[in-house]
Structure 1
């Protein structure tokens, strides 16, 4: 039995992991999905990692899954506790010394997003509805609940401080791209993963939150990664 440690992204809470957590528990695993202090202006990435490490406690056989902005926290956890596997799920990949606020320009996110938007017929500067932008592949009831009850403010504090690691932690790492995400376009994510992690990512269907739209497939992919160890 493994312990899956699920790290959510920015301006969110751990509710988004519910369907995936159920799939993993049905397979006999333990799931730890803490809420990060993302709306606390006094909390930075160190405090985010503290929250995860505290939630892990003395559990072992850890598989860390980091989503979106959680990509800055997941490797910090791996640097502090023994982890068998890190899976980056449509996650931001930090570079040593880079702050989350610098990530966007450093990766060329803006031009990449504009190109992806134009390919799907969205003019520059268009304000898109969150439902169609982030959650177009998520079941309607889950998307509505997320938007109504599980959005949180995102404090600015973590974005101004450098990511503290000198190198990527020495832990087996996999990356899953959500091929239908409109926020982090797949072509952009593939490039960032190759440039920063040195390998080609795997892909699965889904918008920015594939754990809501495709929890069974995601669980199967995580289990397949674990079986390769």
Structure 2
């Protein structure tokens, strides 16, 4: 493990679909042991907030969830990390309150432009299947969680940890789009971390977009998509090296 920096940093770690703040447990524990401040909010309708699942949850709800953490906790110079679907959330937060942020980290995350919903970016047949799954499982409100292997997990302990905690994913955030007033990242320093073992296919479009940006950082991590569960020490190492 690298020697931690002398200054205390503030990290806000944002989870992806079907997950909750729980998925960052080992990463948060290690960062706090180095003296850093760490927040792991759970987005509305998921995890321990799954009792709030409803039709009114949109991508804007997720953005407000994290924005409110920054405001109510009076956080500044934040390193904001978004995993998977959480990439859309941190893009929205950066558009609204860039003055509270220091850097954006997209951990194997989705990136979409203003006015483009997740469903807009998917084949129509895929969207139809997802809507049907939501109707059959969650009365049209939510998507059932996939098997842990879908997140690149291979060890039994990791799969068991995740399987016990995944909750249905609200559907409307897939149907609604970010409305951005600034370019993606809002001119903040941005870095993308690609998890390569195995590579998560749905993110290929986002990765290609990042590679076309001259001012974005790029790094690769030899772990699966749920890196914070499969290789928390590797995630911590990269965060401490920022």
Distance 1:163 1:135, change over 3 A: same
The within-5 A match list for 1:84-123 is 84-105=102-123
Instruction: Give the Å deviation of 1:185.
Output: 6.6
Asked whether the 8 Å contact 1:7–1:67 carries over to 2, the reply is yes
Instruction: Give the Å deviation of 1:204.
Output: 0.5
Aligned residue for 1:115? none
User: Is it true that 1:80 corresponds to 2:96 in the alignment?
Assistant: yes
What SS class does the counterpart of residue 85 from structure 2 fall into? Answer: helix
Aligned residue for 2:230? 213
Asked whether the 8 Å contact 2:148–2:162 carries over to 1, the reply is no
Distance 1:44 1:133, change over 3 A: closer
Distance 1:211 1:197, change over 3 A: farther
**Which deviates further from its counterpart, 177-186 or 89-98?**
177-186
1:66-124, Cα deviation, whole Å (9 max, x unpaired): 00011110011122332000000000011122112112349xx9xxxxxxxxxxxxxxx
Distance 1:49 1:131, change over 3 A: closer
Asked whether the 8 Å contact 2:110–2:203 carries over to 1, the reply is no
Instruction: Give the Å deviation of 1:158.
Output: 1.4
What SS class does the counterpart of residue 84 from structure 1 fall into? Answer: strand
Aligned residue for 2:176? 161
Instruction: Give the Å deviation of 1:203.
Output: 0.3
What SS class does the counterpart of residue 85 from structure 1 fall into? Answer: strand
User: Is it true that 1:172 corresponds to 2:189 in the alignment?
Assistant: yes
Q: TM-score, normalised by structure 1?
A: 0.79
Asked whether the 8 Å contact 1:133–1:182 carries over to 2, the reply is no
Aligned residue for 1:49? 63
Asked whether the 8 Å contact 1:8–1:67 carries over to 2, the reply is yes
Give 5+ residue unaligned stretches, structure 1.
110-128
Instruction: Give the Å deviation of 1:183.
Output: 3.5
What SS class does the counterpart of residue 170 from structure 2 fall into? Answer: coil
Asked whether the 8 Å contact 1:90–1:184 carries over to 2, the reply is no
Instruction: Give the Å deviation of 1:165.
Output: 0.7
Asked whether the 8 Å contact 2:153–2:226 carries over to 1, the reply is no
Within 2, Cα distance between the matches of 1:69 and 1:23?
Answer: 24
Asked whether the 8 Å contact 1:100–1:163 carries over to 2, the reply is no
User: Is it true that 1:16 corresponds to 2:27 in the alignment?
Assistant: no
Distance 1:3 1:44, change over 3 A: same
What SS class does the counterpart of residue 101 from structure 2 fall into? Answer: coil
Q: TM-score, normalised by structure 2?
A: 0.75
Within 2, Cα distance between the matches of 1:223 and 1:154?
Answer: 31
Q: CA RMSD in A?
A: 2.6
